[in-house]
Amino acid sequence: MDQTAFMIGFSIMAIASLVIYATGGKQFPSRHHTLMHASVPFIAATAYLAMAMGFGNLQLDNGVTVYLARYADWSVTTPILLAGLVMLAFHEEGKPGEMGGFLTAIIVLDVMMIITGLISSLAESSVAKWVWYLWSCAAFLGVVYLLWGPLRAIAATRGRAMAAAYNKDVALLTVVWFIYPIVFLVGPEGLRMITDPTSVWAFLILDVIAKVFYAFYAAGNLKNALSQSRYEGSAGA
């Protein structure tokens, strides 16, 4: 695999991490979101550097390359992104145990989704590949259910502006995250309809949207919500 995509990924993610931190809110209750969103591309930059240098690029007997760093990245970055949304839904209110329960459930489902996706990519028999792929999709649907069901209902009780920010973030996140299993399915790990370089570029574009574009989008939504709720005099700010 050509190193260009990985080095581009490394550069974009490293710069984005700094820019997200530099431009993000530094006061409560924005600062913790800024820190979380800046840490996500830093992790991704590390993963792209590893892939560029060939660390963890596993060549299977069937000729397919599995990039272990990609799964290591996702298993850390996706919980951070989801934790940010859970915190936004609660927005500094609610009982600690209640938020802890949602954080645990959504992170468990999410990490299981990534691990079983990795097992699917490594599986040799096509039956095993499908079983693990479908199990990963089941975990993904669990994540989507929590975001659109109970967490959306909780966000709706935090004032109109905060609820709107939550709904916008969840809508973008859901659309982008749904494309990952599709790229995986048509890629070398699945039906082999696209080549390895095409799949690497596709995941790179998705990663930039899901980590970098999303960070700016979410920061903008939070900023608007905080200024609106201050204006409306609600509990939001």
For the CB of residue 164, give the shortest distance to ligand RET in the complex, in Å. 22
Residue 59 is classified by DSSP as E
For the CB of residue 114, give the shortest distance to ligand RET in the complex, in Å. 5
d(CA 17, CA 21): 6
| C-beta closer to ligand RET: residue 147 or 210 | 210
Interacting residue with ligand RET among 48, 166, 180, 201 (CB under 6 A): 180
Binding mask 5-24 vs ligand RET (x if CB under 6 A, - otherwise)? Answer: --------------------
**180: its two tokens:** 């990952």
Binding mask 35-74 vs ligand RET (x if CB under 6 A, - otherwise)? Answer: -----x---------------------------------x
d(CA 160, CA 185): 38
**123: its two tokens:** 């599986």
| C-beta closer to ligand RET: residue 210 or 225 | 210
Q: Amino acid identity of 128? A: A
| C-beta closer to ligand RET: residue 121 or 228 | 121
Interface stretch with ligand RET, choices 77-85, 151-159, 218-226, 227-235 (CB under 6 A): 77-85
| C-beta closer to ligand RET: residue 48 or 180 | 180
For the CB of residue 17, give the shortest distance to ligand RET in the complex, in Å. 12
Binding mask 195-214 vs ligand RET (x if CB under 6 A, - otherwise)? Answer: ------------x--xx---
d(CA 18, CA 42): 8
Compute CA 117 distance to the chain's CA centroid, rounded to the nearest angstrom. 14
Element housing 67 (H / E): strand 65-67
Length of the chain: 237
d(CA 114, CA 47): 15
Place of tokens 């709706």: 156
Residues 118 to 157: which contact ligand RET by CB under 6 A? 120, 133, 136-137, 140
> Among all residues, whose Cβ is closest to ligand RET?
117
CB 124 within 8 A of CB 62: yes
d(CA 94, CA 19): 32
d(CA 8, CA 96): 41
Query: Which residues contact ligand RET by CB under 6 A?
Result: 40, 74, 77-78, 81, 113-114, 117, 120, 133, 136-137, 140, 177, 180-181, 184, 207, 210-211
